[in-house]
């Protein structure tokens, strides 16, 4: 490609990129994504701007190779980084889940502490792979309280409803077990 043809093609590419960047910027809503999109668009425009310098200094720059490597994951060099990232994410998720369970457990203790007829024995959380699994709550009638089956059913419904409201668990994810108090 001759110098004049190359310059013409480069200017056409630059003008199209700038027009497209302006159009995309108008379409993107005002939120946190807009800053990221502006950064990416700006980087793309900068790459187009430096193409003549790359050609003058004979630095190979192949868009197709970059796009293909990005789509296939960049080869084996990226695998240790991806593995480490997944490992860090797993640790963070485990820590976050434990902290959320601690906070939720404290809320459940405070809610059940408001019910005079029962005492809380245990709160146990189970986890599923994709999110919160379930919560098991073991309760016992308070000292001196003799609760009928219907009263236990009413209190179970009250506990489930209260826990559902403060924790985000659905009614199916909340199990209330009654334990008889040793006399």
User: What span, in angstroms and rounded, lies between the C-alpha atoms of 161 and 163?
Assistant: 6
For the residues 91-110, what does the mean pLDDT come to? 88
Q: Is the pLDDT of residue 130 over 80?
A: no
Q: Is the pLDDT of residue 131 over 90?
A: no
Contacting residues for 21 by C-beta, under 8 A, at least 6 apart: 41, 42, 44, 45
For the residues 96-110, what does the mean pLDDT come to? 88
Average pLDDT, the chain: 82
CB 25 within 8 A of CB 41: yes
Question: Buried b / exposed e across 26-44, counting CB within 10 Å, b at 16+?
Answer: eeeeeeeeeeebeeebeee
pLDDT of residue 91: 87
Spatial strand order of the sheet with 118-127 comes to 118-127, 132-141, 174-178
Q: How far is C-alpha 83 from the chain's CA centre?
A: 18
CATH match for 104-178 among 3.30.70, 3.10.450, 3.40.50, 3.30.300: 3.30.300
pTM: 0.52
For the residues 52-81, what does the mean pLDDT come to? 65
Instruction: Please give the structure tokens belonging to residue 158.
Output: 């009250």
| CB atoms inside a 10 Å sphere around CB 176 | 20
For the residues 150-174, what does the mean pLDDT come to? 89
């Amino acid at each position: 490609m001759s110098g004049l043809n190359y310059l013409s093609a480069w200017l056409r590419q630059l003008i199209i990129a700038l027009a497209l960047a302006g159009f995309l910027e108008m379409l993107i809503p005002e939120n946190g994504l807009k800053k990221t999109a502006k950064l990416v668009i700006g980087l793309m425009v900068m790459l187009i701007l430096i193409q003549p310098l790359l050609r003058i200094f004979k630095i190979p720059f192949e868009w197709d190779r970059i796009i293909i490597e990005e789509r296939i994951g960049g080869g084996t060099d990226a695998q240790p980084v991806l593995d480490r990232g997944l490992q860090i994410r797993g640790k963070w998720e485990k820590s976050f889940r434990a902290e959320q369970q601690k906070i939720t457990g404290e809320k459940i203790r405070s809610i059940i502490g408001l019910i005079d007829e029962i005492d809380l024995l245990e709160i146990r959380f189970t986890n599923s792979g994709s999110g919160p699994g379930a919560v098991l709550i073991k309760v016992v009638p308070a000292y001196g309280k003799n609760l009928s089956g219907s009263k236990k059913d009413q209190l179970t419904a009250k506990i489930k409803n209260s826990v559902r409201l403060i924790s985000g668990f659905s009614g199916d994810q909340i199990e209330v077990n009654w334990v008889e108090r040793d006399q």
